[in-house]
Structures are given as C-alpha cells and as structure tokens.
Amino acid sequence: MKKSLIFGTAGHIDHGKSSLVLALTGKDPDRLKAEKEKGITIELGFAGMETEQANISFVDVPGHEGLIKTMIAGSVGFDSVLFCVDSREGVRQQTIEHYNIIRTIGVRYCVVALTKTDIASPEQIQSAENGVRKLFAACAIKISDIVHTNINDQKSIEKLREAIGRCSTKIHQKIQKRCYVVRADRVFSIKGSGTVVTGTSLFGQVAPDTLLFNIRNMKAARIKAIQVHDKTVKKSVAGERTAINLPDFSIDDVNRGDILSDNKNIISTRGIFANITVFEGLHEKVSLRHNKTYSIYIGALSCEGKLLFYDNKKLAAGERANCFIRLDRPVIPYFDEPLIIRSASPQMSIAGGRVLGIEETFPDRKFAGEILNYLSVHDYDNALKKAVEIFHCGIKLPEPIQFSGLIRNELAMKLAQLNIANFQGFILDSRNLETFVENTIQSLNKKGVLAISKIQHTCEQLPDPVRFDIINRIIERAQKQDYIFDGQTLKKREKDPFEELAISVLNQMKSDPLMSNSTLLSEKMNIPVNQVQKCLHYLCNRSLAKNIEGNNHVTMELLNSFIEKASFECKKNGHVDLTAMKNHFGLPRKLLVPLMEQLDKTGLFVNKDNKRMLKIK
C-alpha cells in the first residue's frame, strides 16, 4: 500500500504556486470567485496526484502578507513542501516568512520549483537559485531537488512530478497507531448529505460508522462517508486530505480549527508549554520579551498569549528557550504541534515553536522547567523520571497525544521499565509509594492499631485508584505480619494459646521426623498425651501434618519432599523402592512403609512388585 503524504506550497505572492499545482494535478486550487478575479489564493486550496512512490495531497496556501495566517493554518500536517520562487524576482519578503514557518512545522525535505523560467534570463534564473540555496544553507531542511519550471512546458512539469516522487521516498508516513485526529479547515453542507468537514488527517485512521467527537463542545456524530482525492474510500489514514460526511452535525456544530477525534478524553486548555525560537533573517530587529503578549497561531486558530520564560527576560534572533504561554482563549493542542508567534507592529511572524504540553499536566508550572528541557529533545525517560521526582505526590497525565510522541502502549511500557506506578494515567514513583506503605507499617507496629480512615484522610488528594491500591498494600502487608482487618481497623491478632502449642509440636516434628506419634512427642515435650493428640488433629485439619498410618504422623513438608524425591528417582532409574528411599531419608521401616503407600494414593505412581513407577501419560 502506497503511503499518503501532504505537500504544501510555499512562496511569495504570485510566484506561481497555484498554477504549478494545476499543471501537476489538473485541479485548480483557486476555488473562490474572489481568487479568480484577483489572481491570488485567499483561502486554502486542495488538489491531489499519484506518483509511483506515494499518494500526494497538495495544500496550496496564500503568499499575500495580509493572508499569512491562512498559510499558517494550512501548514498543519505538512510532510513536505513545494517551495516556489519566481525566477525573475528571486527570494522576497513572504518567501522568507514562509521559509521560517516551514522550518517551525518540522519539514525535513522539500522540492524547490523555480517558476516562470520561460520569461526569465539565464542570469535571473541563476541568481534566484543562488538565493534559494543561501536561504536554506543554515537550516535542517534538505532541498531534495531544484527544478526549473514553465507551466507551458510539459517536460518541465513532468520533471517536477518526478522530483516530488523522489522526495516522497525520503519521508516517513505519519503515525497511524494513535487515536484519530483531524483539524477542521472547512465546514460546509451538501444537499442530501448534510454537513461535510475537511481537513488533514493528522494521526491514526478512521472508517465510516466511527463516532467522532468535536473536542471543543463534546458534540458527537457518526461518520456516514469519507472521501480522499474526491473518491469515496473505506478509510482515511494519517497524512491524507480528508472529507468526512457527518450528517449528525449541523453546520454550526463545527468551526474552522476544531479538533475532531475518536478519543473524547483529549482536552482544551488556556495554557501551554512550548519551546520557542526567534526567526533569523528578518529585515527588522526583533526579539521576544518575557511577560509580553503576542499573537499566537496554532493550527487554524489564532489568539493572544502572554509569554513567560523560565530563565530569560528576552530572546534575540536565533535564540531558543522553553516558556509557558497564558492564552486568552481555549485551544486544543497536541504534543509537538507547531505554533507561530507574530508581532502586532510591524505585523510579521517573528518566532516559531512546538507545543511541549498543556498547563493541566503539572500541579505547579513554576517547577516544570527541567521536565520541559527533556521533552524538548524527546527524552521521555528522563522527563518522566524528573516529573515524578519533582511532583512526588504524583501527576495526572493527559492523553498521550497531548503529553508525548509515544502511543499509549509505548508509554505504559516505558512507565513500567522506569518503575513508575501508573493508575489509569495518574503516575508516581513506585519507590515513594513503597516508602509510604513501609512507614505506615512501622507506625502500625509501634501502636499496634491503625484506623483505615486515617490512611484515607492522609491520601485524600490522590485519585481513588491510587488510594485504594495503597490501602490494599498496607492491609496485605499487615496481614502477613499477623494483623487482622475488621473492615475499619488493623490490629494485632491475639494468638490462641492452643495454636502456639500446636505450632511448637509441628516444629518438634520438623526437627526430628522420628517424633511421629503422640506418645513420643508427649515424652519429648513433657506435654500430656491427650494435648498432643489435639495438637496433631489441629495440624492435620490445617494441612500442616498428615496421619499416614494408625498413630503415625509426619509433617506435610516431609511428605511433599518424599513424593518429589520418589518422582526424581523414577525419572532417573525407571523405578523407586524402599531401599532407595531409606538411603535418602534415613527413616525407620515403620515410617517408610506407610510413606511408600502414600505414593500410591497420589495417583502419580503404580506399585509393581513393591517397586513404584511413574504412570505413563
């Protein structure tokens, strides 16, 4: 099965982005009348094509400075970029701004198209190519190919198509094992079908009849049909431009920018943690300042956000830092989601970053700095260890998609490997849990009594599953130390004097197996015979001893050892007899004979001429 990838367009206004997509796909992404009249892209345009290597969806974004926020919205989910530069004009203002945005969203490979080469001089073409190479020289994005294009020259379009195919082989498809997530970028109604939502499938996969939740308002609707590249399909996977028919939704139930998912436990937040980098190469001298408010763009949403740095008061061009952003409206971000920061005056994109988490994760954001350092480099082991170290009473993790790049099973395995207790997403260091239990047991041993209500009060801030686990551990540990639990209180069990006597008889039999009847035990221990008989009866009822014949008794420990040794001899020699067992145990015949007969009663052996052999199964 071919992988599905999203290629976005990027570049200055009127540098030929939409024309190239039309030439490649046969579909005009300039879909609105206003776009046709003005000759520019105002909204996002979509088209698709198939190469030998992949199914490609194009998202054509506007290059006009005033519509840059639409470009930011469209860049959500880009796997690669068709970076367009007019051969005559070269790199321009919005070229640089688009370049900064695609660096932020994590694109690793791109194809550069030098457009309109039919009306440019060789010197202009070379200058434009040099400018592009210089722009990309200092960043992690690799230029897969630079193609000279002319929409009237089919050979150049075919070369571009081949370059996109080659680039697609270098790109990994998005994760399909996570919950399904799509961020809506269009919502409209079709007569006879109802509401249709389009967007890029960011994670997971989805099929008709799946129940999707709009996380913003928690309204739900079942999928009636799905289209990809204008074709009805049985499922949509991460990396595809998708149209979803949701007739249970009214057109007002979904807004642009809404997250739709089959996981209703994803939450909205007014505070996010992020790793931010100030862009380089801008004409104006720009910086980010601590405790100052900027315009924040996440997906198709824009809001105002106050930046609160941990160690910095100011970030200059090229500098990077972790921060907390207090937002003026709720957003629904996922981990590693790109965001763009724009200044009001002048209006321009000045920084980009990635979401590291949501405010609700950590009880006190002031102490989250060290954890963010690890999350920013995807070091989840140390991030989790530091989290339970700092917040020793535990934290409630959000859904994995809002905390890390791990799927649920990977996160659960990692927590187990790190010895971090996991109670339905609430995590704490198992060592802290064990220390609390041990300290409670020590207190119990000193006082001899403990009310469970006291434990419940001490742990009242913990979720029910954690509190119940702690109480059960304490009760289980206490019972092993001979405490009893009456439903409300743990207290030391008072030993029955007779039970103590019976245990002393058992210990005598263990130390000397010849002490096998009440008479011998009575003489040895100076206890009345009738008392010894009662003790032996008590021990037999509790499967601690066994009456093997008449008044002869042995401990169950000895009997089990006798059976185990007989099995071993049979496997080794084919049979076992009285002599072999006497050599091993050194017991008199009056005990060995009834013990050999006990072998017959197990059902494991057959007696043939006083030789026991294992039954053949």
The dihedral of CA 173, 174, 178, 179: what is its sign? negative
The answer to whether 331 and 257 are in contact (CB under 8 A) is no
pLDDT at position 304 is 95
Higher pLDDT, 71 or 597: 597
* pLDDT for residue 616 is more than 90: no
pLDDT band per the 50, 70, 90 thresholds, residue 460: confident
Over range 291-316, report the average pLDDT: 90
Query: In this model, does residue 67 exceed pLDDT 60?
Result: no
Region 476-487 average pLDDT = 87
- Compute the distance between CA of residue 204 and CA of residue 181 in angstroms, rounded to an integer: 7
Q: What is the pLDDT of residue 289?
A: 93
Tell me, what DSSP letter sits at residue 604?
S
* Tokens describing residue 448: 């001899």
CA angle 68, 65, 184 (to 5 degrees): 20
Q: Does an H or E element contain 415, and which?
A: helix 408-417
pTM, full prediction = 0.71
293 by DSSP, 3-state: which?
A: strand
pLDDT for 40 equals 28
At residue 87, the pLDDT reads: 94
Give me the pLDDT at residue 224, please: 95
Nearest-angstrom CA–CA distance, 149 and 532: 105
pLDDT at 110 over 50: yes
pLDDT surpasses 60 at 377:
yes
Whether the predicted pLDDT of 176 surpasses 70: no
pLDDT confidence band for 73 (50 / 70 / 90): low
Range in 10-19, 360-369, 510-519 the model is least confident about: 10-19
- DSSP summary character for residue 194: E
Per-residue confidence (pLDDT) for residue 33, from 0 to 100: 38
User: Among 23-32, 69-78, 320-329, 466-475, whose mean pLDDT is lowest?
Assistant: 69-78
Helices (H) and strands (E) in the chain, counts: 18, 34
Cβ-in-10-Å burial (0-12, 13-18, 19+) of 81 comes to buried
pLDDT band at 69 (very low <50, low <70, confident <90, very high): low
Between 308 and 106, whose confidence is greater?
Answer: 308
Q: Is the pLDDT of residue 30 over 90?
A: no
Structure confidence by residue, pLDDT tens digits, 385-435: 999 999 988 999 999 999 998 999 999 999 999 999 999 899 999 999 999
**CA–CA gap between residue 31 and residue 33 (Å, rounded):** 7
Q: Is the pLDDT of residue 482 over 70?
A: yes
As a whole number, the mean pLDDT across the chain is 87
CB of 207 closer than 8 Å to CB of 234: yes
Exposed / middle / buried, residue 235 (Cβ in 10 Å: 0-12, 13-18, 19+):
middle
Rounded Cα–Cα distance for residues 142 and 325 (Å) = 31
Q: Which residue did the predictor score with more confidence, 125 or 36?
A: 125
Query: Between helices 430-447 and 464-480, what is the axis angle to 10°?
Result: 50
